[in-house]
Homo-oligomer: A and B are copies of this chain.
Amino acid sequence: MTQGTQGKGATTSTLWDRTRQLATEEILQTALRLFTLQGYDETTIAQIAREAGVSQRTLFRYFGTKEDLIGGSEEQFVTLLTETVRKQPADAGAWEALRAAFKAALSLHTSPEQALERFRLVHHTDSLRAAYLGKRVRCQEQLLPVLEAKLAPSGTDRGQARAIVATAFACFDAATATWLEGNGQGDILDLYDQGLAAVRG
């Protein structure tokens, strides 16, 4: 239905899409503001909807769950990771590919300050953290088949590939935790390298 004819239009025209875009941004912004201001658990959907000027029902149509109000769509994230890995040169190893994927993911944040604030929020809120971890393992699962291709030549089986992917994500998490502990000092990717070095050294 809503497709085909208008692939070319300067930018997605349809007034609908534009207001939709505006609405999502307004909601996201309001949510983040309230979350950092008064805490995640202390902020109700009703309040966010009210202050963003939409109905609760609409808010839930835009974002399926309260947790989705933080940290962008899982789908987009998975796509970025898998595409980055896939685009890696054939002679690049699995570890390099994963590192490149994390680098790409990190570049999504608009500023280190915002990243810090967001990480802190997720890290300190049990329900948010659990939701994040859920997304994370789903990412791993999507990434697995892509990486298996890279690893097959060296006689690595699926179980081992899974361990490698899981380890990379684990070290990435450890790096962000350490980064958070240091209030954003240093570079996450450096911390990631150091952690991985300790593991693989």
A residues near B (Cβ < 8 Å) are 126, 129-131, 133-134, 137, 156-167, 169-171, 173-175, 177-178, 181, 191, 194-200
Contact = CB atoms under 8 A, between A and B. Distances in A.
A12 B29 CA distance: 56
Main secondary structure of the interface of A (DSSP, over half): helix
16 contacts: A130-B130, A130-B131, A133-B133, A159-B175, A159-B178, A159-B191, A160-B195, A160-B198, A162-B174, A162-B177, A163-B174, A163-B175, A163-B194, A163-B199, A165-B174, A167-B170
A163 B133 contact: no
A105 to B, nearest CB: 17
Given A167-B170, A169-B170, A170-B170, 11 more contacts: A130-B130, A130-B134, A133-B133, A133-B137, A158-B181, A161-B198, A162-B177, A163-B175, A166-B171, A166-B173, A200-B200
B200 A199 contact: yes
A11 B174 CA distance: 44
